[in-house]
A and B are shown apart, each in its own frame.
Chain A
Amino acid sequence: MNTTTAVQKKRKPEAIGSGYLNIVAPLIVLVILIAALEFFTRAFGISRFVLPPPTDIIVKTISNFPEIWPHFLFTLKIVAIGFMISVPFGMLIAALFSQFEIMVKAISPVIIWLVITPMITLIPLIMLWLGTDPNLRVIVVIIQATPIITLNTLNGFTNIESEKLELAKSVGASKPQTFIKIIFMNAMPQVFTGIKLGCIFSTIGAISADFVAGTVGLGSRIVQYTKYNNIELSYGCIIIIALIGISLFSIVEIIEKRIVLWKN
Protein backbone atom coordinates (compact mmCIF):
# COMPACT_ATOMS: atom_id res chain seq x y z
CA MET A 1 0.00 0.00 0.00
CA ASN A 2 2.72 2.41 1.02
CA THR A 3 4.61 1.69 -2.15
CA THR A 4 1.68 2.60 -4.38
CA THR A 5 1.04 5.96 -2.70
CA ALA A 6 4.74 6.66 -2.84
CA VAL A 7 4.73 5.96 -6.56
CA GLN A 8 1.86 8.39 -7.02
CA LYS A 9 3.57 11.14 -5.10
CA LYS A 10 6.79 10.64 -6.95
CA ARG A 11 5.22 10.78 -10.37
CA LYS A 12 3.14 13.93 -10.10
CA PRO A 13 5.76 16.73 -9.95
CA GLU A 14 7.78 14.96 -12.59
CA ALA A 15 4.80 14.90 -14.95
CA ILE A 16 4.08 18.60 -14.48
CA GLY A 17 7.74 19.50 -15.03
CA SER A 18 8.01 17.52 -18.23
CA GLY A 19 4.73 18.89 -19.60
CA TYR A 20 5.89 22.47 -19.10
CA LEU A 21 9.22 21.63 -20.68
CA ASN A 22 7.51 19.98 -23.64
CA ILE A 23 6.02 23.32 -24.67
CA VAL A 24 8.80 25.73 -23.75
CA ALA A 25 11.80 23.81 -25.08
CA PRO A 26 10.64 23.58 -28.73
CA LEU A 27 9.57 27.25 -28.65
CA ILE A 28 13.04 28.27 -27.57
CA VAL A 29 14.53 26.22 -30.38
CA LEU A 30 12.15 27.89 -32.85
CA VAL A 31 13.05 31.39 -31.71
CA ILE A 32 16.78 30.60 -31.92
CA LEU A 33 16.29 29.16 -35.40
CA ILE A 34 14.41 32.23 -36.65
CA ALA A 35 16.98 34.60 -35.11
CA ALA A 36 19.83 32.60 -36.65
CA LEU A 37 18.18 32.62 -40.10
CA GLU A 38 17.52 36.35 -39.82
CA PHE A 39 21.17 36.96 -38.95
CA PHE A 40 22.63 34.73 -41.67
CA THR A 41 20.37 35.91 -44.48
CA ARG A 42 21.18 39.56 -43.70
CA ALA A 43 24.85 39.19 -42.68
CA PHE A 44 25.81 37.13 -45.73
CA GLY A 45 23.47 38.91 -48.10
CA ILE A 46 21.75 35.73 -49.19
CA SER A 47 19.58 36.25 -52.27
CA ARG A 48 15.87 36.58 -51.42
CA PHE A 49 15.19 34.06 -54.19
CA VAL A 50 16.96 31.46 -52.12
CA LEU A 51 15.85 32.43 -48.66
CA PRO A 52 14.35 35.78 -47.70
CA PRO A 53 14.92 36.97 -44.11
CA PRO A 54 12.22 35.58 -41.78
CA THR A 55 10.98 39.04 -40.81
CA ASP A 56 10.32 39.87 -44.48
CA ILE A 57 8.36 36.64 -44.84
CA ILE A 58 6.26 37.46 -41.78
CA VAL A 59 5.62 41.11 -42.70
CA LYS A 60 4.72 40.41 -46.34
CA THR A 61 2.54 37.45 -45.47
CA ILE A 62 0.58 39.50 -42.95
CA SER A 63 0.11 42.44 -45.32
CA ASN A 64 -1.07 40.12 -48.10
CA PHE A 65 -3.15 37.98 -45.83
CA PRO A 66 -6.57 39.07 -47.20
CA GLU A 67 -5.46 37.68 -50.55
CA ILE A 68 -4.25 34.40 -49.03
CA TRP A 69 -7.22 33.98 -46.66
CA PRO A 70 -9.74 32.33 -49.07
CA HIS A 71 -7.06 29.89 -50.21
CA PHE A 72 -6.23 29.11 -46.61
CA LEU A 73 -9.91 28.43 -45.89
CA PHE A 74 -10.20 26.24 -48.96
CA THR A 75 -7.15 24.11 -48.10
CA LEU A 76 -8.21 23.87 -44.48
CA LYS A 77 -11.65 22.69 -45.62
CA ILE A 78 -10.21 20.04 -47.96
CA VAL A 79 -7.75 18.76 -45.33
CA ALA A 80 -10.30 18.74 -42.51
CA ILE A 81 -13.13 17.07 -44.43
CA GLY A 82 -10.81 14.56 -46.06
CA PHE A 83 -9.23 13.74 -42.71
CA MET A 84 -12.55 13.40 -40.93
CA ILE A 85 -13.77 10.95 -43.56
CA SER A 86 -10.46 9.04 -43.71
CA VAL A 87 -10.28 8.30 -39.98
CA PRO A 88 -13.56 6.42 -39.54
CA PHE A 89 -13.29 4.95 -43.05
CA GLY A 90 -9.76 3.65 -42.47
CA MET A 91 -10.67 2.23 -39.08
CA LEU A 92 -13.82 0.60 -40.37
CA ILE A 93 -11.92 -1.16 -43.16
CA ALA A 94 -9.38 -2.41 -40.59
CA ALA A 95 -12.13 -3.58 -38.23
CA LEU A 96 -13.88 -5.52 -41.00
CA PHE A 97 -10.75 -7.16 -42.37
CA SER A 98 -9.41 -8.05 -38.93
CA GLN A 99 -12.38 -10.39 -38.47
CA PHE A 100 -11.01 -12.79 -41.05
CA GLU A 101 -7.45 -14.02 -40.96
CA ILE A 102 -7.43 -14.67 -44.70
CA MET A 103 -8.54 -11.10 -45.39
CA VAL A 104 -5.75 -9.73 -43.20
CA LYS A 105 -3.19 -11.77 -45.14
CA ALA A 106 -4.68 -10.90 -48.52
CA ILE A 107 -5.23 -7.22 -47.95
CA SER A 108 -2.16 -6.19 -45.92
CA PRO A 109 0.26 -6.07 -48.88
CA VAL A 110 -2.29 -4.17 -50.96
CA ILE A 111 -2.58 -1.54 -48.23
CA ILE A 112 1.18 -1.26 -48.03
CA TRP A 113 1.35 -0.71 -51.81
CA LEU A 114 -1.24 2.03 -51.48
CA VAL A 115 0.71 3.67 -48.68
CA ILE A 116 3.95 3.55 -50.65
CA THR A 117 2.55 4.78 -53.98
CA PRO A 118 2.57 8.60 -53.98
CA MET A 119 -1.01 9.56 -54.70
CA ILE A 120 0.18 12.67 -56.50
CA THR A 121 0.77 10.31 -59.44
CA LEU A 122 -2.94 9.59 -59.61
CA ILE A 123 -4.12 13.16 -59.41
CA PRO A 124 -4.15 13.99 -63.14
CA LEU A 125 -6.16 10.81 -63.76
CA ILE A 126 -8.55 11.51 -60.91
CA MET A 127 -9.11 14.97 -62.37
CA LEU A 128 -9.80 13.31 -65.72
CA TRP A 129 -12.34 10.92 -64.20
CA LEU A 130 -14.08 13.24 -61.81
CA GLY A 131 -13.75 16.64 -63.39
CA THR A 132 -12.00 19.74 -62.18
CA ASP A 133 -14.30 20.81 -59.35
CA PRO A 134 -11.75 21.81 -56.66
CA ASN A 135 -13.91 20.27 -53.94
CA LEU A 136 -13.18 16.85 -55.45
CA ARG A 137 -9.69 17.17 -53.97
CA VAL A 138 -11.23 15.73 -50.84
CA ILE A 139 -11.13 12.41 -52.68
CA VAL A 140 -7.39 12.77 -53.18
CA VAL A 141 -7.01 13.40 -49.45
CA ILE A 142 -9.09 10.32 -48.62
CA ILE A 143 -7.11 8.10 -50.99
CA GLN A 144 -3.87 9.46 -49.54
CA ALA A 145 -4.75 9.22 -45.85
CA THR A 146 -6.98 6.16 -45.52
CA PRO A 147 -4.40 3.41 -46.24
CA ILE A 148 -1.95 4.57 -43.56
CA ILE A 149 -4.77 4.69 -41.00
CA THR A 150 -5.98 1.24 -42.02
CA LEU A 151 -2.46 -0.18 -41.94
CA ASN A 152 -1.74 0.98 -38.38
CA THR A 153 -5.18 0.11 -37.03
CA LEU A 154 -5.00 -3.35 -38.56
CA ASN A 155 -1.58 -3.89 -36.98
CA GLY A 156 -3.07 -2.92 -33.63
CA PHE A 157 -6.01 -5.29 -34.07
CA THR A 158 -3.88 -8.27 -35.02
CA ASN A 159 -0.97 -7.80 -32.59
CA ILE A 160 -2.46 -8.96 -29.32
CA GLU A 161 -1.08 -11.19 -26.60
CA SER A 162 -2.77 -14.58 -26.66
CA GLU A 163 -3.22 -14.45 -22.88
CA LYS A 164 -5.55 -11.47 -23.24
CA LEU A 165 -7.74 -13.44 -25.63
CA GLU A 166 -7.59 -16.44 -23.29
CA LEU A 167 -8.87 -14.20 -20.51
CA ALA A 168 -11.82 -13.27 -22.72
CA LYS A 169 -12.52 -16.95 -23.39
CA SER A 170 -12.23 -17.91 -19.72
CA VAL A 171 -15.02 -15.49 -18.83
CA GLY A 172 -17.08 -16.45 -21.88
CA ALA A 173 -16.91 -13.05 -23.57
CA SER A 174 -18.92 -12.77 -26.78
CA LYS A 175 -17.26 -11.66 -30.03
CA PRO A 176 -18.45 -8.04 -29.74
CA GLN A 177 -17.42 -7.94 -26.04
CA THR A 178 -13.97 -9.29 -26.89
CA PHE A 179 -13.61 -6.78 -29.69
CA ILE A 180 -14.72 -3.72 -27.73
CA LYS A 181 -13.21 -4.48 -24.33
CA ILE A 182 -9.99 -6.12 -25.44
CA ILE A 183 -8.99 -6.02 -29.11
CA PHE A 184 -9.99 -2.41 -29.79
CA MET A 185 -8.64 -1.07 -26.51
CA ASN A 186 -5.41 -2.99 -27.06
CA ALA A 187 -5.06 -1.40 -30.49
CA MET A 188 -5.78 2.14 -29.27
CA PRO A 189 -2.14 3.38 -29.16
CA GLN A 190 -1.58 2.09 -32.68
CA VAL A 191 -4.90 3.50 -33.86
CA PHE A 192 -3.72 6.91 -32.70
CA THR A 193 -0.38 6.46 -34.45
CA GLY A 194 -2.40 5.81 -37.61
CA ILE A 195 -4.57 8.87 -37.07
CA LYS A 196 -1.55 11.08 -36.47
CA LEU A 197 0.08 9.83 -39.66
CA GLY A 198 -3.31 10.47 -41.27
CA CYS A 199 -2.97 14.16 -40.34
CA ILE A 200 0.34 14.36 -42.19
CA PHE A 201 -0.90 12.41 -45.20
CA SER A 202 -4.08 14.50 -45.43
CA THR A 203 -2.08 17.69 -45.70
CA ILE A 204 0.24 16.11 -48.27
CA GLY A 205 -2.77 14.93 -50.28
CA ALA A 206 -4.46 18.33 -50.33
CA ILE A 207 -1.34 20.25 -51.33
CA SER A 208 -0.37 17.69 -54.00
CA ALA A 209 -3.78 18.14 -55.58
CA ASP A 210 -3.36 21.91 -55.51
CA PHE A 211 -0.01 21.64 -57.29
CA VAL A 212 -1.34 19.56 -60.14
CA ALA A 213 -4.55 21.36 -60.88
CA GLY A 214 -6.50 24.48 -60.20
CA THR A 215 -6.16 28.01 -59.10
CA VAL A 216 -7.45 27.69 -55.55
CA GLY A 217 -5.73 26.31 -52.48
CA LEU A 218 -2.48 27.17 -50.75
CA GLY A 219 -0.57 24.76 -53.01
CA SER A 220 -1.65 26.65 -56.13
CA ARG A 221 -0.68 29.91 -54.37
CA ILE A 222 2.88 28.66 -53.85
CA VAL A 223 3.14 27.87 -57.56
CA GLN A 224 1.75 31.29 -58.52
CA TYR A 225 3.83 33.33 -56.05
CA THR A 226 7.03 31.58 -57.05
CA LYS A 227 6.23 32.19 -60.69
CA TYR A 228 5.82 35.95 -60.06
CA ASN A 229 8.85 36.24 -57.79
CA ASN A 230 6.85 36.72 -54.57
CA ILE A 231 9.25 34.40 -52.77
CA GLU A 232 8.34 35.78 -49.33
CA LEU A 233 4.69 34.87 -49.88
CA SER A 234 5.63 31.38 -51.12
CA TYR A 235 7.45 30.82 -47.87
CA GLY A 236 4.51 32.34 -45.98
CA CYS A 237 2.15 29.81 -47.58
CA ILE A 238 4.53 26.98 -46.74
CA ILE A 239 4.48 28.07 -43.10
CA ILE A 240 0.68 28.31 -43.08
CA ILE A 241 0.42 24.80 -44.54
CA ALA A 242 2.79 23.53 -41.88
CA LEU A 243 0.66 25.22 -39.23
CA ILE A 244 -2.47 23.47 -40.52
CA GLY A 245 -0.71 20.11 -40.25
CA ILE A 246 0.76 20.88 -36.84
CA SER A 247 -2.58 22.07 -35.46
CA LEU A 248 -4.37 18.97 -36.66
CA PHE A 249 -1.61 16.78 -35.26
CA SER A 250 -1.67 18.59 -31.91
CA ILE A 251 -5.45 18.27 -31.59
CA VAL A 252 -5.17 14.52 -32.16
CA GLU A 253 -2.33 14.31 -29.64
CA ILE A 254 -4.38 16.13 -26.99
CA ILE A 255 -7.31 13.77 -27.57
CA GLU A 256 -4.94 10.80 -27.39
CA LYS A 257 -3.59 11.92 -24.02
CA ARG A 258 -7.14 12.25 -22.71
CA ILE A 259 -8.13 8.78 -23.91
CA VAL A 260 -4.98 6.65 -23.69
CA LEU A 261 -4.40 7.30 -19.99
CA TRP A 262 -2.62 4.01 -19.47
CA LYS A 263 0.25 4.68 -21.88
CA ASN A 264 3.12 5.52 -19.61
Chain B
Amino acid sequence: MEELGKKTLQEPRIKFENVSKIFETRSQEIVAVKDYSMEVLTGEFVSIIGPSGCGKSTLIRMLDGIIKPTEGNIYLDGNQVNEEGKMPKETLRKMGFIFQQPNLLPWYTVRENVALPLRVFGLSGETWEKRVDELLELVGLSKSGQLFPYEISGGMLQRAGVVRAMVHDPEILLMDEPFGALDELTREQLNMELLEIWKETKKTIIFITHNVEEAVLLSSRIYVMGTQPGRLVSTVNIDLPRPRSLKMITQPEFIGYKQKLTKLIGDLDLSKIK
Protein backbone atom coordinates (compact mmCIF):
# COMPACT_ATOMS: atom_id res chain seq x y z
CA MET B 1 0.00 0.00 0.00
CA GLU B 2 2.75 2.37 1.01
CA GLU B 3 4.60 1.70 -2.19
CA LEU B 4 1.50 2.34 -4.19
CA GLY B 5 1.00 5.66 -2.41
CA LYS B 6 4.53 6.70 -3.24
CA LYS B 7 4.05 5.65 -6.80
CA THR B 8 1.00 7.84 -7.33
CA LEU B 9 2.81 10.79 -5.79
CA GLN B 10 5.73 10.54 -8.12
CA GLU B 11 4.15 9.25 -11.26
CA PRO B 12 2.82 11.84 -13.64
CA ARG B 13 -0.94 12.00 -13.96
CA ILE B 14 -0.70 12.40 -17.70
CA LYS B 15 2.19 11.34 -19.86
CA PHE B 16 2.73 11.78 -23.60
CA GLU B 17 5.52 9.58 -24.91
CA ASN B 18 6.83 10.38 -28.40
CA VAL B 19 3.33 10.92 -29.72
CA SER B 20 2.82 11.57 -33.42
CA LYS B 21 -0.34 12.09 -35.38
CA ILE B 22 -0.52 11.97 -39.15
CA PHE B 23 -3.72 12.90 -40.94
CA GLU B 24 -4.16 11.50 -44.40
CA THR B 25 -6.03 13.61 -46.88
CA ARG B 26 -6.79 12.69 -50.48
CA SER B 27 -3.59 14.16 -51.86
CA GLN B 28 -1.09 14.20 -49.00
CA GLU B 29 -0.13 13.24 -45.50
CA ILE B 30 -0.19 16.01 -42.92
CA VAL B 31 1.98 15.59 -39.85
CA ALA B 32 -0.14 17.33 -37.23
CA VAL B 33 2.04 16.36 -34.26
CA LYS B 34 5.54 14.92 -34.35
CA ASP B 35 7.33 13.18 -31.51
CA TYR B 36 5.62 15.03 -28.68
CA SER B 37 6.44 14.20 -25.06
CA MET B 38 5.07 15.82 -21.93
CA GLU B 39 4.36 14.98 -18.31
CA VAL B 40 1.70 16.61 -16.18
CA LEU B 41 1.44 16.07 -12.43
CA THR B 42 -1.75 15.89 -10.40
CA GLY B 43 -3.20 19.35 -9.71
CA GLU B 44 -0.97 21.15 -12.18
CA PHE B 45 -2.18 23.89 -14.50
CA VAL B 46 -0.22 23.68 -17.73
CA SER B 47 -0.72 25.48 -21.01
CA ILE B 48 0.20 24.48 -24.52
CA ILE B 49 0.80 27.48 -26.72
CA GLY B 50 1.64 27.80 -30.38
CA PRO B 51 0.55 29.28 -33.69
CA SER B 52 -2.56 27.90 -35.34
CA GLY B 53 -2.01 24.61 -37.08
CA CYS B 54 0.67 23.42 -34.66
CA GLY B 55 -1.46 20.49 -33.52
CA LYS B 56 -2.10 21.69 -29.99
CA SER B 57 -5.79 20.89 -30.16
CA THR B 58 -4.97 17.50 -31.62
CA LEU B 59 -2.97 16.66 -28.49
CA ILE B 60 -5.84 16.92 -26.03
CA ARG B 61 -8.23 15.27 -28.49
CA MET B 62 -5.90 12.27 -28.49
CA LEU B 63 -5.86 12.23 -24.70
CA ASP B 64 -9.65 12.36 -24.54
CA GLY B 65 -10.20 9.48 -26.96
CA ILE B 66 -11.66 11.65 -29.72
CA ILE B 67 -8.85 10.69 -32.11
CA LYS B 68 -6.11 8.06 -31.93
CA PRO B 69 -2.40 8.84 -32.19
CA THR B 70 -0.53 7.35 -35.14
CA GLU B 71 2.60 6.63 -33.10
CA GLY B 72 3.70 6.82 -29.50
CA ASN B 73 1.82 6.28 -26.29
CA ILE B 74 -0.37 8.30 -23.97
CA TYR B 75 -0.70 7.32 -20.31
CA LEU B 76 -3.28 8.37 -17.80
CA ASP B 77 -2.48 7.36 -14.19
CA GLY B 78 0.07 4.95 -15.57
CA ASN B 79 -2.41 3.21 -17.87
CA GLN B 80 -2.01 3.38 -21.59
CA VAL B 81 -5.10 5.03 -23.06
CA ASN B 82 -4.44 4.97 -26.79
CA GLU B 83 -5.28 1.32 -27.46
CA GLU B 84 -7.47 0.35 -30.37
CA GLY B 85 -11.20 0.79 -30.01
CA LYS B 86 -13.29 3.06 -27.89
CA MET B 87 -11.84 4.48 -24.71
CA PRO B 88 -13.57 2.92 -21.69
CA LYS B 89 -16.10 5.10 -19.88
CA GLU B 90 -14.19 4.87 -16.59
CA THR B 91 -11.21 6.52 -18.27
CA LEU B 92 -13.29 9.14 -20.04
CA ARG B 93 -15.03 9.99 -16.78
CA LYS B 94 -11.73 11.22 -15.38
CA MET B 95 -11.65 13.97 -18.00
CA GLY B 96 -13.83 16.89 -19.02
CA PHE B 97 -13.40 18.56 -22.41
CA ILE B 98 -14.11 22.25 -22.96
CA PHE B 99 -14.47 23.25 -26.59
CA GLN B 100 -13.40 26.40 -28.38
CA GLN B 101 -17.00 27.18 -29.22
CA PRO B 102 -19.48 26.65 -26.37
CA ASN B 103 -20.71 23.66 -28.37
CA LEU B 104 -23.98 23.44 -26.47
CA LEU B 105 -26.67 21.37 -28.15
CA PRO B 106 -29.34 23.86 -29.32
CA TRP B 107 -32.21 21.40 -28.77
CA TYR B 108 -31.59 21.04 -25.06
CA THR B 109 -32.08 23.68 -22.37
CA VAL B 110 -29.01 25.06 -20.62
CA ARG B 111 -29.59 22.72 -17.68
CA GLU B 112 -30.10 19.67 -19.90
CA ASN B 113 -26.88 20.56 -21.71
CA VAL B 114 -24.92 20.80 -18.49
CA ALA B 115 -26.40 17.49 -17.31
CA LEU B 116 -25.68 15.70 -20.61
CA PRO B 117 -22.48 13.94 -19.46
CA LEU B 118 -24.38 12.54 -16.45
CA ARG B 119 -27.02 11.03 -18.73
CA VAL B 120 -24.43 9.47 -21.00
CA PHE B 121 -22.18 8.20 -18.21
CA GLY B 122 -25.28 6.81 -16.50
CA LEU B 123 -24.85 8.88 -13.34
CA SER B 124 -28.25 9.42 -11.80
CA GLY B 125 -29.62 10.30 -8.40
CA GLU B 126 -30.27 13.28 -6.23
CA THR B 127 -26.61 14.04 -5.49
CA TRP B 128 -25.79 14.38 -9.16
CA GLU B 129 -28.87 16.48 -9.88
CA LYS B 130 -27.93 18.73 -6.99
CA ARG B 131 -24.46 19.03 -8.45
CA VAL B 132 -25.91 20.33 -11.73
CA ASP B 133 -27.75 23.07 -9.85
CA GLU B 134 -24.68 23.94 -7.78
CA LEU B 135 -22.54 24.28 -10.88
CA LEU B 136 -25.13 26.46 -12.60
CA GLU B 137 -25.17 28.57 -9.46
CA LEU B 138 -21.36 28.73 -9.44
CA VAL B 139 -21.28 30.45 -12.83
CA GLY B 140 -24.40 32.56 -12.32
CA LEU B 141 -26.67 30.49 -14.56
CA SER B 142 -29.16 29.16 -12.03
CA LYS B 143 -31.95 31.34 -13.40
CA SER B 144 -31.12 30.49 -17.00
CA GLY B 145 -31.31 26.71 -16.61
CA GLN B 146 -34.62 26.38 -18.42
CA LEU B 147 -33.64 28.67 -21.30
CA PHE B 148 -32.41 27.42 -24.63
CA PRO B 149 -28.84 28.24 -25.68
CA TYR B 150 -29.96 30.79 -28.27
CA GLU B 151 -31.54 32.82 -25.47
CA ILE B 152 -28.33 33.52 -23.53
CA SER B 153 -25.19 35.52 -24.28
CA GLY B 154 -21.87 34.20 -25.58
CA GLY B 155 -20.13 34.51 -22.21
CA MET B 156 -22.96 32.65 -20.50
CA LEU B 157 -22.85 29.94 -23.15
CA GLN B 158 -19.15 29.37 -22.60
CA ARG B 159 -19.67 29.26 -18.81
CA ALA B 160 -22.26 26.54 -19.41
CA GLY B 161 -19.71 24.75 -21.59
CA VAL B 162 -17.18 24.90 -18.76
CA VAL B 163 -19.49 23.50 -16.10
CA ARG B 164 -20.76 20.82 -18.47
CA ALA B 165 -17.19 19.53 -18.62
CA MET B 166 -17.10 19.49 -14.80
CA VAL B 167 -20.50 17.97 -14.06
CA HIS B 168 -19.34 14.35 -13.84
CA ASP B 169 -16.64 15.47 -11.41
CA PRO B 170 -13.58 14.75 -13.56
CA GLU B 171 -10.15 15.29 -12.04
CA ILE B 172 -8.73 16.56 -15.31
CA LEU B 173 -9.99 19.44 -17.45
CA LEU B 174 -8.90 19.69 -21.07
CA MET B 175 -9.53 23.15 -22.45
CA ASP B 176 -9.24 23.88 -26.16
CA GLU B 177 -8.84 27.68 -26.47
CA PRO B 178 -12.00 27.91 -24.41
CA PHE B 179 -12.35 31.68 -24.30
CA GLY B 180 -10.78 32.48 -27.66
CA ALA B 181 -14.08 33.40 -29.29
CA LEU B 182 -15.09 35.84 -26.57
CA ASP B 183 -14.39 39.54 -26.21
CA GLU B 184 -11.39 40.68 -24.18
CA LEU B 185 -13.30 41.69 -21.05
CA THR B 186 -15.36 38.53 -20.79
CA ARG B 187 -12.25 36.51 -21.49
CA GLU B 188 -10.31 38.11 -18.62
CA GLN B 189 -13.25 37.64 -16.29
CA LEU B 190 -13.64 33.97 -17.23
CA ASN B 191 -9.90 33.40 -16.81
CA MET B 192 -10.14 34.69 -13.24
CA GLU B 193 -13.20 32.52 -12.60
CA LEU B 194 -11.27 29.57 -13.97
CA LEU B 195 -8.35 30.20 -11.59
CA GLU B 196 -10.84 30.36 -8.74
CA ILE B 197 -12.37 27.02 -9.77
CA TRP B 198 -8.90 25.49 -10.12
CA LYS B 199 -7.87 26.70 -6.65
CA GLU B 200 -11.05 25.37 -5.05
CA THR B 201 -11.26 22.03 -6.80
CA LYS B 202 -7.55 21.13 -7.26
CA LYS B 203 -8.16 19.87 -10.78
CA THR B 204 -5.42 19.05 -13.23
CA ILE B 205 -5.80 21.38 -16.19
CA ILE B 206 -4.33 21.32 -19.69
CA PHE B 207 -5.11 24.62 -21.33
CA ILE B 208 -4.67 25.21 -25.05
CA THR B 209 -4.24 28.81 -26.18
CA HIS B 210 -2.49 31.07 -28.64
CA ASN B 211 -2.63 34.03 -26.26
CA VAL B 212 0.70 34.56 -24.45
CA GLU B 213 -0.67 36.78 -21.69
CA GLU B 214 -3.42 34.32 -20.87
CA ALA B 215 -0.95 31.44 -20.75
CA VAL B 216 1.45 33.26 -18.39
CA LEU B 217 -1.35 34.42 -16.14
CA LEU B 218 -2.88 30.97 -15.68
CA SER B 219 -0.15 28.37 -15.90
CA SER B 220 2.56 26.82 -13.82
CA ARG B 221 4.28 25.60 -16.96
CA ILE B 222 3.95 26.42 -20.63
CA TYR B 223 4.75 24.11 -23.53
CA VAL B 224 5.61 26.06 -26.66
CA MET B 225 4.86 24.32 -29.92
CA GLY B 226 6.12 25.00 -33.40
CA THR B 227 4.38 24.27 -36.65
CA GLN B 228 5.01 22.17 -39.77
CA PRO B 229 5.28 19.67 -38.30
CA GLY B 230 3.61 20.40 -34.95
CA ARG B 231 6.31 19.76 -32.38
CA LEU B 232 7.46 20.75 -28.92
CA VAL B 233 9.95 23.61 -29.13
CA SER B 234 10.46 24.71 -25.58
CA THR B 235 9.12 24.38 -22.04
CA VAL B 236 8.88 27.43 -19.80
CA ASN B 237 8.19 27.25 -16.06
CA ILE B 238 6.24 30.22 -14.74
CA ASP B 239 7.41 30.92 -11.20
CA LEU B 240 4.98 33.69 -10.42
CA PRO B 241 3.31 33.63 -6.99
CA ARG B 242 -0.24 32.44 -6.54
CA PRO B 243 -3.00 33.46 -6.31
CA ARG B 244 -2.61 35.25 -9.59
CA SER B 245 -4.55 38.35 -10.46
CA LEU B 246 -4.99 40.68 -13.41
CA LYS B 247 -2.91 43.29 -11.56
CA MET B 248 0.19 41.15 -12.16
CA ILE B 249 0.04 41.83 -15.88
CA THR B 250 1.95 45.07 -15.44
CA GLN B 251 4.64 43.67 -13.13
CA PRO B 252 8.17 43.40 -14.59
CA GLU B 253 8.43 39.67 -13.88
CA PHE B 254 5.20 39.00 -15.76
CA ILE B 255 6.30 41.16 -18.66
CA GLY B 256 9.62 39.30 -18.68
CA TYR B 257 7.87 35.96 -19.16
CA LYS B 258 5.63 37.47 -21.78
CA GLN B 259 8.57 38.82 -23.77
CA LYS B 260 10.44 35.55 -23.50
CA LEU B 261 7.49 33.60 -24.84
CA THR B 262 6.64 36.13 -27.51
CA LYS B 263 10.24 35.92 -28.68
CA LEU B 264 10.14 32.10 -28.72
CA ILE B 265 7.01 32.13 -30.85
CA GLY B 266 8.29 35.00 -32.99
CA ASP B 267 11.52 33.13 -33.74
CA LEU B 268 9.40 30.22 -34.91
CA ASP B 269 7.67 32.39 -37.47
CA LEU B 270 11.00 33.82 -38.66
CA SER B 271 12.53 30.37 -39.08
CA LYS B 272 9.53 29.47 -41.17
CA ILE B 273 10.07 32.42 -43.49
CA LYS B 274 13.73 31.51 -44.00
Which A residues have a C-beta under 8 Å from some C-beta of B? 1, 3-5, 7-8, 11, 163-164, 166-173, 177, 181-182, 185-186, 188, 260-262, 264
Whether A171 contacts B92 in the complex (CB less than 8 A), given A182-B105, A185-B105, comes out as yes
Q: Is the CB of A173 within 8 A of B61?
A: no
Chain B residues 186-220 with CB under 8 Å of chain A are none
Could you say which of B8-16, B23-31, B115-123, B221-229 contacts chain A? B115-123
Q: Is the CB of B103 within 8 A of A1?
A: no
A contact residues around B120 at 8 Å (CB): 168, 171-173, 177, 181
CB-based nearest B residue for A175: B86
Q: Is the CB of A261 within 8 A of B92?
A: no
Measured CA separation A164–B149 after assembly (Å): 14
A163 in complex: contacting residue of B93, B101, B152, CB < 8 Å? B101
Whether A172 contacts B103 in the complex (CB less than 8 A), given A4-B153, A166-B66, A262-B149, comes out as no
Q: Is the CB of B150 within 8 A of A264?
A: yes
Cβ of B37 under 8 Å from chain A:
no
Residue of B88, B105, B140, B150 most packed against chain A (CB within 10 A): B105
Closest 5 CB pairs of A and B: A170-B97, A172-B92, A185-B107, A172-B89, A171-B120
Cβ of B147 under 8 Å from chain A:
yes
CB-based nearest A residue for B143: A1
A contact residues around B148 at 8 Å (CB): 261-262
Q: Is the CB of B144 within 8 A of A170?
A: no
Q: Is the CB of B64 within 8 A of A1?
A: no
Chain B residues 90-110 with CB under 8 Å of chain A are 92-93, 95, 97, 99-101, 103, 105-107
A contact residues around B107 at 8 Å (CB): 185-186, 188, 260-262
CB distance from A125 to the nearest CB of B (A): 42
A contact residues around B144 at 8 Å (CB): 1, 4
Q: Is the CB of B156 within 8 A of A4?
A: yes
Cβ of B87 under 8 Å from chain A:
yes
B contact residues around A3 at 8 Å (CB): 152-153, 156
Whether A7 contacts B151 in the complex (CB less than 8 A), given A164-B105, A169-B65, A171-B120, comes out as yes
B contact residues around A182 at 8 Å (CB): 105
CB distance from B105 to the nearest CB of A (A): 7
CB distance from B57 to the nearest CB of A (A): 10
B contact residues around A261 at 8 Å (CB): 107, 148
A contacts with B: majority SS = helix
A contact residues around B61 at 8 Å (CB): 166
CB-based nearest B residue for A177: B120
Chain B residues 145-177 with CB under 8 Å of chain A are 147-153, 156, 168
A contact residues around B87 at 8 Å (CB): 172
Q: Is the CB of B106 within 8 A of A170?
A: no
Measured CA separation A177–B148 after assembly (Å): 21
CB distance from B58 to the nearest CB of A (A): 12
B contact residues around A163 at 8 Å (CB): 99-101, 103
9 A-B pairs (CB sep. < 8 Å):
A1-B143, A3-B152, A3-B153, A169-B64, A171-B92, A172-B92, A177-B120, A262-B106, A262-B107
B147 in complex: contacting residue of A4, A169, A173, A177, CB < 8 Å? A4
CB-based nearest A residue for B103: A163
A4 in complex: contacting residue of B66, B89, B93, B143, CB < 8 Å? B143
B contact residues around A173 at 8 Å (CB): 120
CB-based nearest A residue for B174: A170
A contact residues around B105 at 8 Å (CB): 164, 167, 181-182, 185-186
CB distance from B119 to the nearest CB of A (A): 8
Q: Is the CB of A8 within 8 A of B147?
A: yes
A8 in complex: contacting residue of B64, B65, B88, B151, CB < 8 Å? B151
Q: Is the CB of A172 within 8 A of B121?
A: yes
Measured CA separation A166–B95 after assembly (Å): 14
Whether A1 contacts B86 in the complex (CB less than 8 A), given A164-B103, A171-B120, comes out as no
CB distance from A173 to the nearest CB of B (A): 5
B contact residues around A4 at 8 Å (CB): 143-144, 147, 151-153, 156
A contact residues around B66 at 8 Å (CB): 166, 169-170
Measured CA separation A7–B149 after assembly (Å): 12
Chain B residues 26-55 with CB under 8 Å of chain A are none
CB-based nearest A residue for B112: A181
User: Per-residue 0/1 for B240-271: is the Cβ within 8 Å of any A Cβ (1 yes, 0 no)?
Assistant: 00000000000000000000000000000000
